[in-house]
A and B are shown apart, each in its own frame.
Chain A
Amino acid sequence: MAINKIGREIPDAFAEQFGTYGSEFENIKPYQAAVHAVCPRKPGESKLLDSIHDAIVKTGIKDGMTISFHHHFREGDYVMNMVLDEIARMGIKDISIAPSSIANVHEPLIDHIKNGVVTHITSSGLRDKLGAAISSGIMDEPVIIRSHGGRARAIERGDIHIDVAFLGAPCCDEYGNANGFEGPSACGSLGYALMDAKYADQVVLVTDNLVPYINTKISIPQSDVDYVVKVDAIGDPKGIAKGATRFTKNPKELIIAEYAAKVMMASPYFKPGFSFQTGTGGASLAVTRFLREGMIEKDVKASFALGGITNSMVELLDEGLVGAITDVQDFDTPSGASLARNANHLEINASMYASPLSKGAMVNRLDMVILSALEIDTDFNVNVITGSDGVIRGASGGHCDAAAGSKMAIICAPLIRGRIPTVVDKVTTVVTPGSSIDVLVTEVGIAVNPARTDLIEAFRGLNVPQFTIEELRDRAYAIVGEPKPIEFGDKTVALIEYRDGTLIDAVRNC
């Protein structure tokens, strides 16, 4: 068993294969970008196919290949199930899947795994039943959990080589010009899918909204696309995007949001031209709202807002409080609509968002980011992937990317959830190393990473209760009691890649 620099055990075989985590930026070095196959088109050739079946036949998918999907449709996605069901029906086995993430709606994967159709998975995260099934050890090979920036890196460096990408396209013409703005399955930005379109050997767009040539708003261009399949529906609008994301009324979340906004505004980074990412967690929208009030009051405008976007950020853009939104994913209908209409609302791909091996990701330019946590330990290491019972149920997302890139990473989390403490001695699984985390905000007060003496100084006199993280852990344990350590088995069910490709942790079965 190898031990990485933050004391996490990594089984030897995997430690050799991937390398073990050392520090945030030590592996960021020049490299040769991956190449992919191209099958050029001649004039007069059609790309339109009648069915998913035909696409599988035409692309020549066979045992052992890697196929990919995007997760912009979240819980409303039909594409992955549709493709895998057909692959299973055709008797193809041993498929590797590399979706940008996996939702509850992909529960049928459990049967495909059990039947040997899917044998390898890489994803940002796993949810409920699938997460529990994976944690119980139904796969021979561990799932590789990659952050959004980490997946982009893996594709760019060739760690993931995609044979065929099946990409749901909400608005698409017959020659493969596509966007996510219009149609029944509109999802806004296609930021994660852009990576697959650029690097996969073959790209199949699956659409339920075929528009006349030429589709003028182009996110995925025809020059990257091999085939277009028209189906009845690629997604369920109810699962894809909500209406306007609602402002929380939960008093605990409001207190956390208020404290977080105060921390942001008291930091040295809150000055004209600052940049931020607030994400979409419970308290995030409220943080944006409180921040807005402060920006107006102090006349401080931001240069850009980054990340997964909600309508609260669009409001800031419309009010002129934010110069631009750089958008890899939209979480509600108003934000997708803004992307289509606003010149300063920019669609960016996952590499530009967060890849450590791009020529400069947006996270590198980020001043402040609000992130969530299932657990955070006294070393400030954060877990967003496994529950207190050790079962995989979360997603890595852009967590470690934004934390590493930004000047100040703020974790917003309640001290306890029900009887489960959030601040603990040692997190169950590390996704983001504590060296990337600067401030923890809870409903009882904040704790600043002791390494950030400058911030400790800046927050002296801030009207928010301040504690050491050990004090917050003690408060949590005083309320709920000390949890019994989880008993894991011997089988490795998931590997947690840091964004640079080394292993920061491993998850065993339970």
Chain B
Amino acid sequence: MGREEVPFLPTGIGVIRNMELKQQAVAGTAESSDIMITIDPVGGDAVDISLDSSVEKAFGDRIREVIAETLKNLGVTGVKVTAVDKGALDCTVQARTIAAVYRAAGNAGEFDWKEIDAWNA
């Protein structure tokens, strides 16, 4: 991971992370109750979400809404999201989306929890 050289900074203490998407990234698995989120930086302002869900009829709209809200909160645009869902709950969708965006932005795992927890408060 090469995390050794990164000084530990509890997030939210004046650290603003750059959420500019630099590369394609994936988070999550195809297992039951999980969702696999692929983030592709495409430039521009558009946010394109395509979802393939085993619970499309009951929860498809809700899952798209959670992904869209999360991206908006992260300030991410110019992105194509491909999601393959096997019945993930909202909190899992959120965790996977955030993890994928951080990976795509080159900040894998250095989550700004102060900011993130504020969305859900």
Q: Do chains A and B touch in the complex (CB under 8 A)?
A: yes
| CB neighbours of A390 from chain B (8 A) | 57
Residues A484 and B89 in contact in the complex (CB < 8 Å), given A418-B32, A418-B33, A419-B33: no
| CB neighbours of B26 from chain A (8 A) | none
| A480 at interface by CB-CB < 8 Å | yes
User: What sequence of 0s and 1s flags, for each residue 381-392 of chain A, a beta carbon within 8 Å of any chain B beta carbon?
Assistant: 000000011100
| CB neighbours of A510 from chain B (8 A) | 57
Q: Interface residues of A: mostly helix, strand, loop or mixed?
A: loop
Residues A388 and B89 in contact in the complex (CB < 8 Å), given A418-B32, A418-B33, A419-B33: no
Other-chain residue from B58, B86, B87 in contact with A486 (beta carbon distance below 8 A): B58
| B69 at interface by CB-CB < 8 Å | no
Interface centre among B54, B58, B59, by most chain A C-beta atoms within 10 angstroms, is B58
| B61 at interface by CB-CB < 8 Å | yes
Instruction: Please determine whether B86 and A483 come into contact, CB atoms closer than 8 angstroms.
Output: no
Name the residue on A nearest B35 (C-beta): A419
| A243 at interface by CB-CB < 8 Å | no
Please, how many angstroms separate the alpha-carbon atoms of A390 and B57 in the complex? Answer: 9
| A352 at interface by CB-CB < 8 Å | no
Instruction: Please determine whether B57 and A418 come into contact, CB atoms closer than 8 angstroms.
Output: no
| A22 at interface by CB-CB < 8 Å | no
Please, how many angstroms separate the alpha-carbon atoms of A510 and B59 in the complex? Answer: 16
Instruction: Please determine whether B89 and A389 come into contact, CB atoms closer than 8 angstroms.
Output: no
Instruction: Please determine whether A420 and B87 come into contact, CB atoms closer than 8 angstroms.
Output: yes
Instruction: Please determine whether A418 and B90 come into contact, CB atoms closer than 8 angstroms.
Output: no
| A57 at interface by CB-CB < 8 Å | no
| CB neighbours of B61 from chain A (8 A) | 484
Instruction: Please determine whether A486 and B90 come into contact, CB atoms closer than 8 angstroms.
Output: no
| B46 at interface by CB-CB < 8 Å | no
- In the complex, which range does the number of interface residues on chain B fall in? 10 to 19
| A465 at interface by CB-CB < 8 Å | no
| A108 at interface by CB-CB < 8 Å | no
| A360 at interface by CB-CB < 8 Å | no
Please, how many angstroms separate the alpha-carbon atoms of A392 and B67 in the complex? Answer: 30
Other-chain residue from B56, B60, B87 in contact with A418 (beta carbon distance below 8 A): B87
| A479 at interface by CB-CB < 8 Å | yes
Instruction: Please determine whether B87 and A481 come into contact, CB atoms closer than 8 angstroms.
Output: no
Name the residue on B nearest A387 (C-beta): B57
Instruction: Please determine whether A418 and B58 come into contact, CB atoms closer than 8 angstroms.
Output: no
| CB neighbours of B86 from chain A (8 A) | 418
Instruction: Please determine whether B89 and A419 come into contact, CB atoms closer than 8 angstroms.
Output: yes
Name the residue on B nearest A486 (C-beta): B57
Interface centre among B54, B57, B87, B90, by most chain A C-beta atoms within 10 angstroms, is B57
| B22 at interface by CB-CB < 8 Å | no
Instruction: Please determine whether A419 and B88 come into contact, CB atoms closer than 8 angstroms.
Output: yes
Q: List 22 A-B contacts (CB under 8 A).
A: A388-B57, A389-B57, A389-B58, A417-B87, A418-B54, A418-B86, A418-B87, A419-B55, A419-B59, A419-B88, A479-B89, A480-B59, A480-B89, A481-B62, A481-B90, A484-B58, A484-B60, A484-B61, A484-B62, A486-B57, A486-B58, A510-B57
Instruction: Please determine whether B33 and A484 come into contact, CB atoms closer than 8 angstroms.
Output: no
Least CB distance, A136 to chain B, in whole angstroms: 14
